[in-house]
Amino acid sequence: MKIKEANAGALTNSEVLDFLRSRGASKDPTRVIVAIAPSEFKVYDYLLESPACNQTKEQVNEFLTRCKSYKLAKAEVLNIINLRPSALVEIHPIIEESEERFGEKLEELVNLVVEVLPEPPKKNDVPEEENNEVKEDTADGKSTDEDKTETANLEQTDEDQTKQKEDGEQMEVS
C-alpha cells in the first residue's frame, strides 16, 4: 500500500482493517512472524467483530454516493459506515438534531444503511476455536471448571452421607 497524501482524512474501520491485513495481520495464533504491534492485533481482533469485516470498498462507495442527498456531515457519514445503525434508535446518537433536520427521511436513511451495508458478524458465527474461553488452571493442574464440578460432587456426597435426627443433630452414616 502506498501513501498518496498523508493525513488526507479519517479512515473507515474497513479501510483500517484492509491496511492491517496488508501488513500481515491475521488470526494466526502465534502472531510472532508478523511485524505488527500487539496493540494493532487488538484493533484487528476488534474490527473482525464489527460491521467493517463484511464491508467492501464498493459497498462503502455506493453508500457514499446514495447518501449525498441527505447532506450529512463527514463525521456523521463516517460513523454511520463504521457503526451500521439498523434502527432509528441507533442512528439518533450519530446524527445531530436528526428529527429537526430529517423528520420522516430519517427512516429512509436507516433503510438505505440496511440495504447497502452488510450486517455485522453474529456472535455465534465465530469459529469454535475462537469462541472458547480461556480457562484458568488451579494449583493442582485442573481447570477451574473441573474444580467447580469436583467440589459440587463432593458436596452432594457429603449430603448423602449425613442424615439428620428428629431433634436436628447430625448423624454420620457409612
82 and 145 in a single domain? The answer is: no
Query: Would you place residue 143 in the very low, low, confident or very high pLDDT band (cuts 50, 70, 90)?
Result: low
Kindly provide the b/e burial profile for residues 4-15, where b requires at least 16 CB atoms within 10 angstroms of the residue's own CB: eeeeeeeebbbe
pLDDT tier for residue 134 given thresholds of 50, 70 and 90 = very low
Size (the chain), residues: 174
Alpha carbons 77 and 91: distance in angstroms, whole number: 11
Distance CA 6, CA 76 (A): 22
More confident residue, 17 or 164: 17
Does residue 129 lie within any of the structural domains? no
| 77 and 145, same domain (yes or no) | no
Domain containing 24 — which CATH number? 1.20.1250.40
Question: Do 85 and 54 belong together in one domain?
Answer: yes
Q: Kindly report the average pLDDT of the chain as a whole number.
A: 75
The residues facing 141 across adjacent strands are none
Q: What is the pLDDT of residue 156?
A: 53
> Is the pTM above the cut of 0.75?
no
Residue at 153 is within a domain: yes
Which residue in 13, 7, 10 sits closest to 74, CA to CA?
10
Residue 23 sits in which domain range?
13-124
Residues 149 and 113 in one domain: no
| CA dist., res. 161 & res. 17, Å (int) | 60
Instruction: Give the per-residue pLDDT at 36.
Output: 78
Q: For residue 157, tell me if it sits in a domain.
A: yes
54 with 76, same domain: the answer is yes
- 139 and 120 within one domain: no
